[in-house]
Structure 1
Amino acid sequence: MSNHEQHEKAHKSVKRNEMSRRQFLSYTLGGAGAFMAAGMALPMIRFAVDPILKKKESGTYIKVVEESKITNEPQEFKFKIHQVDGWYVSDPELSAWISKDDQGNFFALSPICKHLGCTITWNTEKNNEYVCPCHNAHYTKDGKNLTVAPKPLDEYELKRENGWVYLGPVKPNTRVQ
C-alpha cells in the first residue's frame, strides 16, 4: 500500500449506521398501532374466555314433588331449572319419571331415549315398560334397555328432605348392569 492510500484510509470519514427518519416513523407508528390493537383485543378475548374460566357450581337440587305422591307406578313430573350458559340465562322445563322400587327406595329416570334422544313414555303398550314412540325402544321400570337402545336410561340424582323429593344432575343408571 502506498503512502497516499494509507493517508486516505486514515482520514476517510466513518459511515455510521444511523436510523433514517423514515425508519423511525415506521417503527414508532407500528409500535403505537400494535399497542392500540392489543388494548382493543384483550377485552374481547377476556369476554370470550371468561365463562370457561368460571368454576362450575356443584350440583344443585330442585324441589319437584311431595314424597306422598310417589307410588310404585312410574309417574311423569315436570320441573323447571335455572340455567346460565355464559351470558344466556334460561329456565327450561324438564321432566322425570319418578317411582319407588319393591324395597320402597325412590328413583327418578330421565325421559330421554338412549337410542336417538326421543322422549319415552310409560306403559303405552300395557306391558309395564317404557317405550320410545320414535324407534320402538323398550326399557324396564328400572330403565334397563331391552330392545333397540344401546344403553339404559339415565337417572337423576335424588334426595329426600322434609317430605319432598329433590332432583339433581343426570348421571348414568346405577340400578341396572
Structure 2
Amino acid sequence: MSQKVTRRQFLNYSLMGVGSFMAAGMILPMGRMALDPLFQDDSEGSMITTSVTVDEITEEPMQVDFTFEQEDAWYTSEVTDFAWVYRDGNEIIAFSPVCKHLGCTVTWAADDNNPERFFCPCHNGLYEKNGENVPGTPPTGPLDQFEVGESDGFLTIGQVFPNELV
C-alpha cells in the first residue's frame, strides 16, 4: 500500500522548504557578522615603526610620516599619515595634525604672527605647543595625541587618544 501525498501536503512541504531556504539565506550572513569579531586577530602590536630615530627628535616639533595598511570591508589600502613630534624633557610627545574645528591639517610655525604655535590655515585656528587650543580662535578642543614608543632606536606611533597634557 503506497501513501499518496495530497495537494495540501505538497503545498505545505513546498512552502516550508522555500521558507526555510529564505530564512537560512538571511540568518547565516547575520550570524557570520555577529561571530566575526571572534575570528579577528588581536590588535596587539599595532605600533607603526617610522623611519625617524629617537635621537633625531628635538624640542622643536617636526613632521614624522608613517604608513599603515587600512582595511575597509573587503578593500585594503596603504595609507600615509603624519604626526607632529617633539621632545619635552625625556618624554616624546606626538600630536595628530587634524584640527578639532573642521578637520583641516595644522602646521607648526606657519603663521608669521605666531611662530611658536600650531596653525590651522582654514580659519586661522591656533594651538599652543602642548596642543591646547588658543581661546578666541575657532578650534573647540585640544589636538589629539598619538601613543608613542621605541623599537630598535626608531620611533613608533600607535593609536590616537585625547590630549592628556592640558
Q: TM-score range by the shorter chain?
A: 0.7 to 0.9
Residue 171 (structure 1) aligns with: 161
Q: CA deviation at 1:43?
A: 4.0
* Structural RMSD (CA): 2.1
Q: Within 5 Å, give how 1:13-162 maps onto structure 2.
A: 21-46=6-31, 48-49=33-34, 51=36, 54-55=39-40, 57-58=43-44, 60-64=46-50, 65-101=52-88, 103-126=89-112, 127-146=115-134, 147-162=137-152
Unaligned runs of 5+ in 1: 1-19
The answer on whether the counterparts of 1:73 and 1:99 sit within 8 Å (CA) in structure 2 is yes
Supply the distance in 2 between the matched residues of 1:161 and 1:25 (Cα, whole angstroms): 70
When normalised by structure 2's length, the TM-score is 0.83
Task: Judge which range, 82-91 or 49-58, deviates more.
Answer: 49-58
Residue 17 (structure 1) aligns with: none
Q: CA deviation at 1:104?
A: 3.2
The structure with more strand, counted as a fraction of residues: 2
The answer on whether the counterparts of 2:49 and 2:151 sit within 8 Å (CA) in structure 1 is no
Equivalenced residues, count = 156
Counterpart residue identity of residue 16, structure 2? G
Per-residue CA deviation, residues 109-152 of structure 1 (Å, 9 max, x unaligned), is 00000111010011011321001100111001111100221110
When normalised by structure 1's length, the TM-score is 0.78
Per-residue CA deviation, residues 15-71 of structure 1 (Å, 9 max, x unaligned), is xxxxx9332222111111112223433444345555555555236101111112211
Unaligned runs of 5+ in 2: none
The answer on whether the counterparts of 1:59 and 1:169 sit within 8 Å (CA) in structure 2 is no
Structure showing greater radius of gyration is 1
Task: Judge which range, 85-94 or 35-44, deviates more.
Answer: 35-44
Q: Percent identity?
A: 33
Residue 12 (structure 1) aligns with: none
